[in-house]
Structure 1
Amino acid sequence: MIRTPRRRREEPLDHAELARLLPAPGDPELSSDRLNGLEEHLMTEIRNRTSDTSPGASTGAPPAGAHAGDRAPRPARRPGRRPVLVGAAAALVLAAAGVAGLAGGSGGSSGSGGSASSGRAVAPPAGAVPAPVVQVVRGSTAGLAGAVADISGAAARAELPEPGPGQFLYVRSEVSWMVTWDGADGKNESYVEKLHPREVWMSPDGDKGWLIEAGERAGGEGGITLDDPGDLEPSLNGPSYDYLRTLPTDPGLLLKKIYDETGGMGSGPDQQAFSTIGDLLREQVVPPKLAAGLYRAAARIPGVVLVDDSVDAVGRHGVAIARTDEVDGARTEWIFDRETYTYLGERTVQTRDAEGIEAGTVRGRTAVTDRAVVDAVKQRPAGLGDAPPSA
């Protein structure tokens, strides 16, 4: 038997020779949706592995649960864009944690009953249903300018309550985001969460908040705190209402600031700018003039089109301002009422076969059903009932 001579311990490591023998390191470029999905899956695995280490705790398989990801927003200090783990760093951390499956789209989960040795789930994630498939309606720049003028005009005229000291901004949505499951036959099946409510309370300064959303990632029925630990400053990726009031309302200045502060993120500067504006609008009570400026800024981003018909998570039809991510083919659509031009919600549709997801698959959908100002955290507007007591 020929044995490889063992290197003497005191012999210095030849880094140049090692680098020559090994393949060059890659530089992966993942879409923001994929990065958000990876980070969400990691956080779910960490919570499942650390949630109960006391004697007598259950040692069974952790419950399956799916996010944001994007996008579905995971619990965060503020209801803005989630921080993400970047590229290879995310993959290394996931590998170290022993994650068996990776999530796709805006949120993800490993399937219950998966095998760590095979890396393949044997059943769809708990509570997931097959992703809906729709006909992809082509978008066009024809009519975009007129629609944006109507939408921004309606936003500027909106009569939104101004939060006072001690009050909280309240947003309620119906949401559903994609999870992926590698079937036993090796085929990548697309599943989504069942449509469910998501409620967020945030103080105007962003220091206090609460999130209630079905599923393990949001703490179950009682919800989880969004209180600021005091170590983060408001930003485009983590805004508070008070921060939004400081932003310029001129669309040109707004767009420049967004490009300057989000450069290098996501799958490209144009897509990242569009995603950032969408994140600012999705789960916030935005000052009217700023909302109008954001819509006008979005219309200036290359690749933005008007879609004549889109449907939000509760079935309301409307027109949409949309943009397709060139990397993964996912088109994000902001949906507006045809008559009042108010914001209804958001839908993400796969425009081409990619990453094992068929064209027409609805990767995520939301519908904003209430925006209000309330006097206390976990207080709901009149007619919505009381929130459960704090956990």
Structure 2
Amino acid sequence: MIRKKSRREESLDHAELARLLPPPGDPHLSLDRHLLLEEHLMNEIQHTAPAPAPSRRAARRVLLIGVPVTAAALAGAFAFTALTGSGGSGPATATPPPVEAPVVRIEPGSTAQLASTVEHIAAAASASKTPEPGPGQYIYIKSKVSYLVVSHTDTDKSKAWVQPLHIREVWNSPDGKQGWLDEPGYKPKGGITLDSDVENSLNGPSYDYLKTLPTDPDALLKKIYKETEGQGNSPDQEAFATVGDLLREQLAPAKLNAALYRAAAKIPGVVVVEHAKDAAGREGIAFAHVDQKSGDRTEWIFDPKTYAYLGSRAVQVKQAYGIKPGTVLECTAVLERAVVDTRKERPGVQGTGA
């Protein structure tokens, strides 16, 4: 159709254009649409460049912290993920929908028992009989985990959403060059490879690398501060988080474990929390440190009798990112730690490796 010109050919002002044009739509993308575009972009990148090796380091905070979305978009995003899988190769697996994050009473931390507690934990670590992995063997860690998905939705800013508790299994060779990760519902069916030629560091350490670290607590802490400089929200928080990463999905020599605990106790702001529960519901005593920027407290949980490491927890202690105090942002529990002969082999089960 040809529109007749009823006025001189001159530029329309903004007000007239606004009257003639239809009202603009909502420019905000729903979360599922955002993920769809992101998936498309990643596919395009993978066509032109080799995919990087998956990180061996468990995410401290994952997915969409601080991003408000609608509840419907959140459900749609997980329905979309269930259809496309969650990265890597292999058949897709259904991703469980998120659940409301648990809320706990915040117990104050104290430095009163810090010195005695760290000595109990370090002594127990020194006395433990840590298996020594040999060439061709793998370090196996089985955990129960849950991580933050989104801090809140537009329809309910009082609730945070987390992954349902689920099993995560990791196999790593002593040199860190071969590995496997199986996390049903969050990785393709059967798991994904962790093979990598990336040089080992504190951000992705192998067992062989850990054996080279100093066992003097002061020297060890100095190295941690130096190698993590400029990372994280503060030097102290990054040092504490780095030590925690070495505890979760790795096997460290007994003397180094003891040194890590003694070094961590020297980090400013570290306190003892007398009661904390890991992802398996086991209650223990915890070393803890508050991230002053994000307002959450990371807790490493130990058995109150044997002082063995149980797991970790992150609890919001100050209002930030729409997350109310007491919200449990993430929770882990180490269920099994062993040395096995082949990748994908589980302790006590023969013939499962590949």
Which residue number in structure 2 is paired with residue 80 of structure 1? 57
Give the CA deviation at 1:180.
1.2
Larger radius of gyration: 2
Question: Is the Cα–Cα contact under 8 Å of residues 180 and 188 in structure 1 kept in the other structure?
Answer: no
Name which of 186, 195, 209 aligns with 1:227: 195
Q: 1:128 aligns with which of 86, 98, 116?
A: 98
Within 5 Å, which residues of 2 pair with 1:283-322? 283-322=249-288
Give ranges in structure 1 of 5+ residues lacking alignment: 5-41, 53-74, 86-101, 115-124
How far is the alpha carbon of 1:127 from its aligned partner?
1.7
Classify the secondary structure of the residue corresponding to 2:236: helix
Equivalent residue, structure 1, for 2:227: 261
CA 1:192–1:76: 2 relative to 1, 3 Å: farther
Look up the match of 1:358: 324
Identity %: 51
Q: Deviations over 1:270-315 (max 9, x none)?
A: 0000000001111101111001000000000000000000000010
- 1:347 alignment partner AA: R
Cα shift at 1:160: 1.3
| Contact 1:180-1:189 within 8 A present in 2 as well | no
* 1:72 aligned residue: none
Structure 1 201/354 Cα, relative in aligned 2: closer, same or farther at 3 Å? same
1:235 & 1:44 partners in 2: Cα distance? 34
- Residues paired across the two proteins, number: 297
Q: Secondary structure at the match of 1:210?
A: strand
Aligned-pair CA distance for 1:48:
6.8
Correspondence for 1:113: 76
Select which of 226, 244, 248 maps to 1:282.
Answer: 248
Give the superposition deviation at 1:179: 1.1
- 1:104 is matched by which residue type in structure 2? I
CA-CA distance at 1:349 after TM superposition: 0.4
Give the root-mean-square deviation of aligned CA atoms: 3.0
The superposition leaves residues 326-378 of structure 1 with CA deviations (integer Å, 9 ceiling, x where unpaired) of 00110000000011000000000000221100100000000000000000000
- Judged with a 3 Å threshold, the aligned counterparts in structure 2 of structure 1 residues 162 and 262 are, in CA distance, closer, same or farther, namely same
Deviation at 1:185, TM superposition (A): 2.8
Provide the C-alpha distance between the structure 2 equivalents of 1:48 and 1:233, rounded to a whole number of angstroms. 30
Displacement after TM superposition at 1:112 (Å)? 3.9
TM-score with structure 2 setting the length: 0.77
Asked if 1 retains the 8 angstrom alpha-carbon contact of 2:314 and 2:330, the reply is: yes
Distance of 2:285 and 2:118 partners within structure 1: 10
Deviation at 1:50, TM superposition (A): 5.3
- Contact in 1 for aligned 2:96/2:185 (Cα 8 Å): no
1:103 aligns with 2:60: no
Q: Is the 8 A contact 1:78 1:240 kept in 2?
A: no
Paired residue for 1:244, among 180, 201, 210?
210
**1:187: how far off?**
2.7
Shift of 1:138: 0.2
Per the alignment, do residues 181 and 166 of structure 1 end up closer, same or farther by CA in structure 2, a change over 3 Å counting?
same
Indicate the SS of the match to 1:189. Answer: coil
Which consecutive unaligned segments of at least 5 residues does structure 2 have?
1-9, 14-33, 45-51, 78-94
